[in-house]
Structure 1
Amino acid sequence: MPPLHITGATDPLTGRETSVAMADGIIVPAPPPGSREIDGRGLFLLPGLIDSHLHLLTGGVALGQLNLLEVKGEAAFRAALAAYAEGRDRDPVLCCWSANYDIFGPGTRPDRHLLDRICPDRPLLMTSVDWHCAWANTAALRLAGLMETVPEMPGVILGPDGLPDGELQEFAAMGLVQRHAASGGREGLALAGREPAAPDAAARAHDRAALAAAMAECARFGITAVANMDGSLYLADLLTDMATAGELPIRVSLPMTVAPDHDDARVAALLDAACRPPAGRLSFGRVKMFMDGVFDTFTALRTDDYPGRPGFRSAPLFPADRFAEVCIAADARGLQIQTHAVGDGAVRAVLDGYEAAQRANGRRDARHRVEHIDMLHPDDLPRLRDLGATASMQPVHPPGSSGLPLEPTVSIMGRARWGDTFPWAAIARAGVPLAFGTDWPTAPLSPFNAIHAALARQPWAPDGPDQRLPLAGVLAAYTSGGAHALHMEDRRRRLAPGMEADLVLLEGDPAGLARGPGACRAALTVCGGAITHEALP
């Protein structure tokens, strides 16, 4: 492939004409001889977009399942499921994803009896939009053995008859049915940092194809780098094989996921894996943990009681002393820590662990990350800044955005706490670095949809704070902010000589995304000077 030279494109923030020449994967001051000239007139040029939080294997598997994000009501679900089931007689489980909690109507919640009415004979599993909950019909529960022997496991919700009612909360419970699907449930194992049991050649080929499909989707949307949260030893090896073979069209950072029940030997093995050197476009250097769940299953940890549930605030997934111990060990080895924390109680617990690591090992430019921050107690905003932490957030997550209904989430959060939710502007004003992503497949992968959600967000009440960022701030969170979160700001922050040649040429002005997500599309995606997606007008 010849070197590239893009001419006449427009910088969307300044309106100035800009040109970029590339050679050997780097932006250079002048185009080398033999460069391919690309006319960028009428198009807009940005650094490559960085999705700072997604799940490649889970998303790649989901691409072959039924997407329910825009399906509302029983009739629509019946029609969508019937169309999807055509030609899938050999699928052991019909798998759907991205279902809203009230998919069958306001104030309702799915259960096995409702799913049985729609699909009585074939196993059916419907995963929620946040991927922290799923609903199975009786046939699927029976396939998993749950109708005969109910396991003593949190998350398997029982009905009045003492049998599972079909709701499965969090990864372990969901995995009881997922493992019977065509994927073997490995996408769920990846989310939780579990290892598959000796996958054979066919399973590895399945997962390799799913990863390739996911990365191709990223390139189609102008994404050149991602933080992939599906960390496991299995995926580290699989992605290393792909990277060594030159099969990664995007740059992938893979944190290794440490779970609360991992013993010292397992944690040590994961920290060793996190210290692996880069391989092609694959990098390590990070660990991932979960401190809580999500609000819709009442598993988000908060500092105050849930509305209508006196004394109940949920519980942390990690005991404080164990979390601090893992943080200290990871930080001592120079690793970056990134922790899922949705509720404000979880954010506080995470900051406590990061502070313990700083006390034990001394202060350094660690940029430990807090993932999601759906709710933040005002007292913890200065701590977030003073600890040098990074806020890794998703503008598609606020209820009312990107196809999400307001209820039941806003009521579960509580009217008194609405001002503390998804506080992007407050975090930015405090000087905390901000990196945006989608958490795909919990939300659409399109960064243009996410940027629209960030620009168009409205307060849930007239007296609520406006937490929107200006266009420049949103684009920064998707480019330079993502690079900063990856410790790569010296290589990917802007389009200038010496920087890596990662960029996206857009058809449509990003300023129009305030009106709708269709205002932009990626006409050309370039990673390391190589075209990974081309759809020039």
Structure 2
Amino acid sequence: MTAPQTTDLLLTGGRIRTFDDARPWAEAVAVTAGRISYVGPAAEAPAARETRHLDGALVTPGIIDSHNHLLLGFDPDAVSLEGAETLDEVRDRIRDLADRRPDLDWICAENAVYSVVTGRRPNARDLAGLTDRPVFVTTYDQHSVWLNDAALRVLGIADGGDIPWGRPERDAQGEPTGWVTDFYTSAMTTAGLAGLQRDIPMYSPERRYRKLLGSLALATASGITTVVEPQVPLAELGLFDRAREAGLLSSRVIAALFHPIDADAAFRRDLRDAVDGATTDDRLRFGPVKLYADDVIEPHTAWMLDDYADRPGHRGHPSAPVGELTRIVTELDRLGFQTHTHATGDGGIRLALDAIEAAAGVNGARDRRHGIVHVECLHPDDLARFASLGVTAAMQPRHCSPDLVSGTWMENVGEQRWDRAWRIRSLMESGAHVALSSDWQVGEMDPLVGLYSALTRAGLDGRDSWTPDERIGLDDALSGYTREGAWAWHAEDDLGVIRPGAAADLVAWSGDLYEHDGDPAALLDQHAALTIVGGDVVHDAASDAPAPAVYGGRAHCSAAAH
């Protein structure tokens, strides 16, 4: 392709990893009218109205984060419990917020770990004496909630009532423990979200919108140019429209619509109408549908093919009666939807694969690219099915870090099944498409943390590499965050690649990441220096505001960034 005489922007003096098989590496890339207009030697690059000299730094396609909960974000009126490994630390942080903020009707905390109390789940008694106000705590995976006695009374749970946004746990005497399971799946239903917004101030539309904007600011500062928000209730589509109309979608957004597992055909027609009637542009797209095959392993609610190691006779449960997921996926597939199905247990993963295979058999051959997200515990018999069925494995390298899964996850699954955990390398080698992601805010949004985790399978302190046979190299990891992410969302001709004619979604890193392939810890000292979306510079580390604040060792947007 002949380059124009003068382009808008030229990046030169670095190493360009294109992920274009026809030209894997280059020295310069030029942008004209939002698209890549030149890729090649620096000596032959065209003149440009603006030239950025990279001083040997690496340029890659913009990062595609294929599973990132923008709407969860970080709430500055709540307290983060990330890094709080003991009950005393949890209590100190909650007490501090309660003491500092007498104006808050509810004291909310986020991202508690399940193992904060040894040998059992946390309960309401563990929160006693901190405040006379209700306390609401989410776990780091957003699938469980922890309440104090005041919250149990305010919500009516203490009197035997139920709530629409979760399943209160009760002891043998029928008394509530303060623990609520099935939170996120229930809370994103129409009735669940309405009840949650009525009950818990943190979930008001205005605070959710503030989280969305803060998450987008962090995304572009991290080199992310396309974000897949995997679970948007129909009632919250307007938040994305609001951001689009205000010109605040600094990254491209693909919004997956949440399908409650018990929704009927009328709801699926509502989904189709919502997508077909939505106002979108190149920064906003609706359409994939989020489903659940099972829940999560930590509270023993994911569906396992065999008993949990520490709970004989118990295998969890699927999210719907066997056969129901197949019926739903088949109908959504017929309606032209791409599905994005949560599955963590080996039973849940098999259920999702079976549903996709059945849908293809009923509806005939076409380019579907359904996805299964998390794929935490994969039975060996199902490994090859991802490639044969054309199913994307949307996986999060950080999730398998031992500092997150030691204790509860490892004990629940049992050592005899650890070799099934997050089989990223095995799936890639099988020919499957593996799209990597952060699962913000379950994990850090920064893709450099994901790259480090993919290369090491270790905690951020560098110790205790776990299941090391599943480690991958830097080039494969970057491909998972770029080219594979583009393929997953039918965008490989436009995104995830640096070649003439493709969208100018680029990230220039602070250095050459490939210099650290053999020393992954050094990746954590790098950052996105320049993020470009559609030819627009949306982040420039040399001139932008200070980096996001860090809580408990993980990066979040500070209140100022909102």
The reply on whether 1:70 has 2:63 as its aligned counterpart is no
Question: Which segment is superposed worse, 256-265 or 235-244?
Answer: 235-244
The answer for the alignment partner of 1:409 in structure 2 is 409
Q: Percent identity?
A: 32
The reply on whether 1:496 has 2:510 as its aligned counterpart is no
Aligned-pair Cα RMSD in Å: 3.0
Cα distance in 2 for partners of 1:462, 1:86 equals 40
* Deviation, structure 1 residue 465: 6.2
Q: Any gaps of 5 or more consecutive residues in structure 1?
A: 176-187
The answer for the alignment partner of 1:311 in structure 2 is 313
* Deviation, structure 1 residue 103: 2.2
* Deviation, structure 1 residue 203: 5.0
Deviations, residues 54-94 of structure 1 (Å, cap 9, x unaligned): 111112x5455322121222443344334434542222211
Query: Could you say what secondary structure the match of 2:64 adopts?
Result: strand
Deviations, residues 270-317 of structure 1 (Å, cap 9, x unaligned): 133244563341112311101111111101111111124333212211
Deviations, residues 163-197 of structure 1 (Å, cap 9, x unaligned): 21111112279x7xxxxxxxxxxxx437x895548
The answer for the alignment partner of 1:178 in structure 2 is none
The answer for the alignment partner of 1:288 in structure 2 is 290
> 1:172 and 1:70, CA in 2 relative to 1: closer, same or farther beyond 3 A?
closer
The reply on whether 1:146 has 2:149 as its aligned counterpart is no
The reply on whether 1:40 has 2:54 as its aligned counterpart is yes
The answer for the alignment partner of 2:63 in structure 1 is 49
The answer for the alignment partner of 2:9 in structure 1 is 4
Within-5 A mapping of 1:112-123: 112-117=124-129, 119-123=130-134
The answer for the alignment partner of 1:376 in structure 2 is 378
Provide TM-score, normalisation by structure 1: 0.88
Cα distance in 2 for partners of 1:463, 1:506 equals 28
* Deviation, structure 1 residue 461: 10
* Deviation, structure 1 residue 405: 4.6
Does the CA contact (< 8 Å) of 2:486 and 2:492 recur in 1?
yes
Cα distance in 1 for partners of 2:481, 2:301 equals 29
Deviations, residues 413-455 of structure 1 (Å, cap 9, x unaligned): 1121111111111111110000001111111111111111111
* Deviation, structure 1 residue 516: 4.8
> 1:64 and 1:497, CA in 2 relative to 1: closer, same or farther beyond 3 A?
farther
> 1:19 and 1:291, CA in 2 relative to 1: closer, same or farther beyond 3 A?
same
Deviations, residues 194-245 of structure 1 (Å, cap 9, x unaligned): 5548989x95444333211111111111100011012222222331343244
The answer for the alignment partner of 2:550 in structure 1 is none
Cα distance in 2 for partners of 1:405, 1:384 equals 24
Within-5 A mapping of 1:332-347: 332-347=334-349
Does the CA contact (< 8 Å) of 2:457 and 2:465 recur in 1?
no
Does the CA contact (< 8 Å) of 2:311 and 2:412 recur in 1?
no
The answer for the alignment partner of 1:184 in structure 2 is none
* Deviation, structure 1 residue 161: 4.8
Does the CA contact (< 8 Å) of 2:18 and 2:498 recur in 1?
no
Does the CA contact (< 8 Å) of 2:368 and 2:390 recur in 1?
yes
> 1:240 and 1:193, CA in 2 relative to 1: closer, same or farther beyond 3 A?
farther
Cα distance in 1 for partners of 2:268, 2:25 equals 50
> 1:39 and 1:463, CA in 2 relative to 1: closer, same or farther beyond 3 A?
closer
> 1:29 and 1:234, CA in 2 relative to 1: closer, same or farther beyond 3 A?
same
Q: Any gaps of 5 or more consecutive residues in structure 2?
A: 1-6, 40-44, 544-562
The answer for the alignment partner of 1:181 in structure 2 is none
The answer for the alignment partner of 2:97 in structure 1 is 84
Does the CA contact (< 8 Å) of 1:508 and 1:519 recur in 2?
no
> 1:95 and 1:152, CA in 2 relative to 1: closer, same or farther beyond 3 A?
closer
Cα distance in 2 for partners of 1:88, 1:19 equals 52
- 2:415 maps to a residue whose letter is R
The reply on whether 1:229 has 2:230 as its aligned counterpart is yes
The reply on whether 1:475 has 2:481 as its aligned counterpart is no
Does the CA contact (< 8 Å) of 2:301 and 2:317 recur in 1?
yes
> 1:448 and 1:316, CA in 2 relative to 1: closer, same or farther beyond 3 A?
same
- 2:112 maps to a residue whose letter is A
The reply on whether 1:520 has 2:534 as its aligned counterpart is no
Cα distance in 2 for partners of 1:464, 1:233 equals 39
Does the CA contact (< 8 Å) of 1:123 and 1:137 recur in 2?
yes
Does the CA contact (< 8 Å) of 2:142 and 2:184 recur in 1?
no
Cα distance in 2 for partners of 1:443, 1:128 equals 12
> 1:234 and 1:420, CA in 2 relative to 1: closer, same or farther beyond 3 A?
same
Query: Could you say what secondary structure the match of 1:338 adopts?
Result: strand
The reply on whether 1:22 has 2:31 as its aligned counterpart is yes
> 1:198 and 1:148, CA in 2 relative to 1: closer, same or farther beyond 3 A?
closer
Within-5 A mapping of 1:126-525: 126-151=137-162, 155-171=167-183, 188-189=187-188, 196=194, 203-276=204-277, 278-400=280-402, 403-457=403-457, 466-511=469-514, 512=516, 514-516=520-522, 518-525=524-531
Cα distance in 2 for partners of 1:9, 1:289 equals 42
Provide TM-score, normalisation by structure 2: 0.85
Aligned length: 516
- 1:491 maps to a residue whose letter is D
